[in-house]
């Protein structure tokens, strides 16, 4: 994207967040971190689904100890998610955390903040400050209410606490369950600072509605050049978050390659089973990494023209279809052969 | 939305498009329009799903005649979708069309345009000019390439043809299968004119990826105050388009009321089956039109605070949950009773 805001680079394990780097996709395990077996299994599933960075909840000492064990079992960067207890951050920093999510305003006295900042600096570990609409610091909320501006002010409050100890290796997130407020908070923050932004909509909801809210919010920000790493939050299996995140990145023009698939919504002009054909073709091509555009169109009258920037496609007739490449018709195919002929032709490309 | 662009009002049957009116949701039948029985059945299904305006393909005389018959069978506004043949537009105008989608640059000589403009004026029927990236007029494409600017110039070319006959009762759409280009085209058009805009991403694809592309594109525009009516195009059952459209409107802050549902993505702190509980609660509340916010949160430590603007919610403990209202904890519930107690409490509100 040519309008992407250039932020400061932050290293999380072997991955760069910010400064125009490829946008890594994050998720979070919903297993008990202390259950090392189940958590390792879920991390592996997330990796297979294409997740770049995994976060683990660290609510207590047992989880912090398990975090160190899990760090040895995967190559994916791991983030420790910590609230309130700075000692858990010290354990995870020593245990190889690649990033720590902690809000320094919530961990008590100034010396606790100093210890966390120094441990993270010593181990080259960045900190994500994660302000949610429900966890704005008291003073910012008093001054600005529960607003996007209050979230941004709250982020600067936490940043200031770390800056006191010369720590500035920071990623910021500003999540609300309201999409418009989330987008506004990130826009304000992006205009006022160069910290890389971790974007997402919090408590977005179940797989269907949560995906729509995340697509609207994350997608809007990405289209306007804001966002350095993304997390789709769904009340669903975490691998669903990866699938949705990759879809949102692709929709916003940040794809990693692979097939771009377009298909028309069908209408009264369509004489073939387009819904069935499109599903089969899309599924068959899901794992293909050829950087081509494939079109499955309902009618031969408009199809090849409407999709003339597709590398290859079919357009339906009555019980048949034409195969076209770059808008030029190549040959006619019987309906029963559409899927196999199209996939064969793509295989040969 | 307080930033909504005020466009010119256009009447489609008993519905206003533009001028800040509620945003109507559109879909298109994928039955043969000439098959009156099947098409009437699909219109009824779309109406039941919450569709406000239905479009029908009119590729030939038989479909145009059927359009008039279908007009008598439903109260929903019906739009005739016509390409190339101006005589079909004249038949549909006489047959009671509530809007006609036709591009006057594609219907031949000037006198054809005059006849269509006069018929539409006589019957108070607006015209939607629908420019797609694949159907830019030759001169605009030659000057500006296949770009968002060329789409906008193409729209003004078609508008100019209607304006020659003093016809200006116009809705405009500018769809591409590329989301970023679609959004850019609508932004340009919105900055340069006051015509109400019908927004959507064309050939978005199958139910999953098409929904994400539509959510990113339509959602971004709505968040920035652009868009007067929406159509989600999916290669799927048309009622899926209505479900997705309503989700996008809600995500962008244009909901019609009904329950706002938030739920957290679960993490290692969660000790109950949150995914199952959230799905059950969301489904049970789908048809409720109480304008309340309901939260289903994984942990009692953060849940009630994070969701303190929810009217009611639960937050999980270990095999149990607390019920809270506006952030204040009311009582403890056993895990087995969470769904029923929460739904009962909502029923009493």
Token pair in block for residue A186: 């990130």
The predicted pLDDT at position B1 comes to: 52
What are the DSSP calls for B254-309, one per residue? Answer: ---SS-EEEE----TT--S-HHHHHHHHHHHHTT-----EEEEES-TTTHHHHTTT
CB pairs < 8 Å spanning A and B: 255
CA separation for the pair B315, B264 (Å, rounded): 10
CA pseudo-torsion sign B31, B33, B38, B42: positive
**Going by DSSP bridges, is the β-strand pair A260-263/B328-334 parallel, antiparallel, or unpaired?**
unpaired
Name the closest residue on chain A to residue B271, using Cα atoms: A32
Cβ contact A223–B223 (<8 Å): no
B142-151: long-range contacts (C-beta < 8 A, 24 or more apart)? B146/A309, B147/B181, B148/B174, B148/B176, B148/B181, B148/B182, B148/B184, B148/B185, B148/B188, B149/B185, B149/B188, B151/B176, B151/B185
Write out the E strands in chain B.
10-12, 15-17, 25-28, 53-57, 78-81, 99-101, 127-132, 170-175, 198-199, 229-231, 260-263, 293-297, 312-316, 320-325, 328-334
Its ipTM equals 0.92
* Spatial strand order in the sheet of B170-175: B170-175, B127-132, B99-101, B78-81, B53-57, B25-28, B229-231, B198-199
Residue of B nearest to A211 (CA): B212
Indicate whether B349 pLDDT > 80.
yes
pLDDT (tens place) for every residue of chain A, 349 residues total:
568 999 999 999 999 999 999 999 999 999 999 999 999 999 999 999 999 999 999 999 999 999 999 999 999 999 999 999 999 999 999 999 999 999 999 999 999 999 999 999 999 999 999 999 988 999 999 999 999 999 999 999 999 999 999 999 999 999 998 999 999 999 999 999 999 999 999 887 888 999 999 999 999 999 999 999 999 999 999 999 999 999 999 999 998 777 888 888 877 778 888 889 998 998 888 778 888 999 999 887 777 877 778 999 999 888 899 999 988 899 999 999 999 999 999 999 8
Q: Are B28 and B56 in contact, with CB atoms under 8 Å apart?
A: yes
Instruction: Give the pLDDT band of residue B2 (cuts 50, 70, 90).
Output: low
From A36, which residue of chain B is nearest by alpha-carbon distance?
A: B268
Q: Where are the domains of chain B?
A: 10-251, 260-347
Torsion, Cα A249 A100 A139 B296, to 10 degrees, reads 60
Nearest residue on chain A to B270, alpha-carbon basis: A30
Residues of B with Cβ-Cβ distance to A282 under 8 angstroms = 205-206, 209
Tens of pLDDT, residues B13-36: 999 999 999 999 999 999 999 999
Shortest alpha-carbon distance between residue A118 and chain B (Å):
27
Would you call B261 and A209 a contact, using CB atoms and an 8 Å cutoff? yes
Cβ–Cβ gap B203/A235 under 8 Å = no
Fold topology of A10-251: TIM Barrel (3.20.20)
Of A210, A261, A270, the CB nearest to B209: A261
B260-347 has the same fold as B10-251: no
- Calculate how close chain B gets to A224, using CA atoms only, in Å: 9
Question: Distance between CA atoms of B28 and B53, rounded to whole angstroms?
Answer: 9
Distances from the Cα of B164 to the Cαs of A37, B110, B116, in angstroms? 73, 10, 12
Is the CATH code 3.30.1300.10 the one for domain B260-347?
Answer: no
A175 DSSP 8-state letter: E
- In chain A, what residues touch B222 (CB-CB under 8 Å)? 216
Determine, for residues A212 and B211 on separate chains, whether the beta-carbon distance falls below 8 Å.
yes
Q: pLDDT (tens digit, 9 = 90+) per residue, B130-139?
A: 999 988 999 9
């Amino acid at each position: 994207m040519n309008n992407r805001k250039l932020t400061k680079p932050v290293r999380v394990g072997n991955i760069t967040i910010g400064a125009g780097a490829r946008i890594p996709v994050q998720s979070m395990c919903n297993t008990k971190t202390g259950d090392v077996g189940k958590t390792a299994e879920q991390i592996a599933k997330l990796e297979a689904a294409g997740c770049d960075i995994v976060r683990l909840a660290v609510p207590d000492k047992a989880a912090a100890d398990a975090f160190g064990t899990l760090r040895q079992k995967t190559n994916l960067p791991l983030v420790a998610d910590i609230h309130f207890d700075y000692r858990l951050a010290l354990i995870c920093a020593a245990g190889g955390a690649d990033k720590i999510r902690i809000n320094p305003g919530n961990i008590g006295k100034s010396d606790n903040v100093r210890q966390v900042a120094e441990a993270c600096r010593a181990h080259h570990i960045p900190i994500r400050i994660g302000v949610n609409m429900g966890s704005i610091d008291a003073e910012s909320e008093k001054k600005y209410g529960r607003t996007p501006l209050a979230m941004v002010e709250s982020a600067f409050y936490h940043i200031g606490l770390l800056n006191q100890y010369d720590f500035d290796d920071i990623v910021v997130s500003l999540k609300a369950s309201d999409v418009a407020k989330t987008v506004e908070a990130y826009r304000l923050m992006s205009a006022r600072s160069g910290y890389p932004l971790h974007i997402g909509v919090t408590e977005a909801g179940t797989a269907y509605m949560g995906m729509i809210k995340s697509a609207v919010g994350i997608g809007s920000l990405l289209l306007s050049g804001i966002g350095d790493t993304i997390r789709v939050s769904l009340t669903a299996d975490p691998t669903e978050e990866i699938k949705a995140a990759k879809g949102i990145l692709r929709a916003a023009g940040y794809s990693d390659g692979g097939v771009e698939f377009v298909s028309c919504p069908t209408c009264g002009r369509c004489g073939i089973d387009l819904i069935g054909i499109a599903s089969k073709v899309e599924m068959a091509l899901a794992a293909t990494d050829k950087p081509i555009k494939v079109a499955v169109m309902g009618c031969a009258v408009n199809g090849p023209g409407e999709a003339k920037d597709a590398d290859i496609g079919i357009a339906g007739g009555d019980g048949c279809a034409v195969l076209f490449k770059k808008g030029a018709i190549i040959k006619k195919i019987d309906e029963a052969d559409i899927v196999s002929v199209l996939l064969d032709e793509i295989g040969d490309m």
